[in-house]
Amino acid sequence: MGHGCKQAGYRLAGAPLNHVCCRHLYGSDRLLTAWPAPEHAVILAVGPHDRSALDVYELLLAAVAVAVPAEERTKPPCCDELGEPPADAQVAQALAAAVSALGAGPRRRR
C-alpha cells in the first residue's frame, strides 16, 4: 500500500485541496487525483494548466467553490513521511461529486 502516491506527484495547498495530488503529464496537461483509501485513487480531472477556460485548476477551484489558497505553494510530495497518500473517503467523495457536478470529470482532449 502507499506506492501509488509516489507516482501521483505533489499535493495541492489549502483545505480541501490538500487532499488532491497533481501529476504533470505531457506539456501543460495535469492529472488530479483524490484518495478515498491508501490503496485507492480517484481521478478527478485531466486537462491543461494553461489559464484558459479549460484550465484544470480553475475547474477544480470552481467545483469546490474556493479561491486560490493564500498559502505558499511548496508542492509537497503526494505521499506523507510514512509513504501514504492524503486519504480521506469523505473528502475524496465530496471532491469527486463536486467535479462531476460541474461536468469537469475525466475527459479526453480532441
Beta strand 29-37 pairing with 10-11? unpaired
Model's pTM, two decimal places? Answer: 0.84
Using the predicted structure, report yes or no on whether residue 109 has a pLDDT greater than 80: no
Within 13 Å and on the Cβ side, how many CA atoms surround 48?
9
DSSP 39: T
Q: Residue 11's pLDDT is what?
A: 94
Tens of pLDDT, residue by residue over 41-91, are 999 999 888 777 678 888 898 888 887 766 677 889 999 999 999 999 999
pLDDT at residue number 57: 87
